[in-house]
Each structure stands twice: as structure tokens, then as C-alpha cells.
Amino acid sequence: MKIGEMIKENRVNKNMTQEDLAKKLFVSRPLVSKWETGKSYPDLHQLIQLSDFFEISLDELMREDIHLVNKKDNYVKKGIAWENWNNLVGLILVWLAIDIGFNFFEGNELFDIDYAWYFRFIMLVLIGTILWHNFLEKIIKKLLKID
């Protein structure tokens, strides 16, 4: 049974209308209708609310709706990959900004330029670590044939 059918069955068993369920979950009635017809899926927070309200486990609620589980799993994987690249770009931008600052103060007696080389080395290690992590992640996915 798909998740939409499970929601409808449990709602009907509690003698509730779509409007009643929508009010309990603080969503709109058309959204409940879309869940029940399979036109849309509840997000994770809403799934937990539904599970608690109907007093069934998340496993029971989503058991046969593999499409939803795979879809949520793919969103999580893509989000993690995107986060890694965002971290890398952010790190490079910070590095460039600070490196420009070091070059700006290069002739100043109060500023020891040796720190610039330590900083550059640490930034290269951090960037290399992120790139290595992304590379290993791709290799492992290919070996395990994961999307």
C-alpha cells in the first residue's frame, strides 16, 4: 500500500475529513488531498507528525512506498555532495581574501610575513582534504554502484 493510501485509510478509520486532518497537522486541505492521491509526498517533519497522529511507526507508514524512500535518500545524498562543494568554494574564497590581505601588509614592520606561508600551507591541506574526500566518495559509489 502506498503512503497516500495509508494516509487516507488511517484518516477514514479515525472518522476524519481531509479538512480535519489538515487542521491537526497545520497544513492545507488541498495538500492532504495531494498526499492521498499521490500527487505529492509529505516532507520528513510531516511524516513524523502523521506517524505520531495515527499511532503507527514510520516504517508502517512508508513500508511499500519505495519510490518515496529512494527520493528522500537521493535528496539527502545530493544535499551532502552540494554542501561539500560549497565548503570548498567558501574555503577558497576565504583563502584568497586573507592572502590578498597578507600581500597588502607585506612591507609593514608590525606584520610578520612568515605567517602568510603557514596560512597558505594550512589552507592547501584543508582544500586537499576536501578534494580527496570528494574523490574517494565518487570511487566508493562507483565500486558499490550507488546513484
Kindly report, residue by residue over 68-92, the tens digit of the pLDDT. Answer: 555 555 555 555 555 666 677 777 7
Rounded mean pLDDT of the chain? 76
Lowest-confidence segment of 23-32, 71-80, 103-112 by average pLDDT: 71-80
pLDDT value for 11: 92
pLDDT band at 133 (very low <50, low <70, confident <90, very high): confident
* Chain center to CA of 48: 17
Rounded Cα gap, residues 41 and 38, in angstroms? 7
Residue 59 has pLDDT above 60, yes or no: yes
Asked whether the whole model's pTM tops 0.85, one would answer no
Q: Supply angle C-alpha 61, 63, 69, rounded to 5.
A: 95
Closest by CA to 88, choosing from 141, 128, 117, 116, is: 128
What class does CATH assign to 3-64?
Answer: mainly alpha
Residue 57 has pLDDT above 70, yes or no: yes
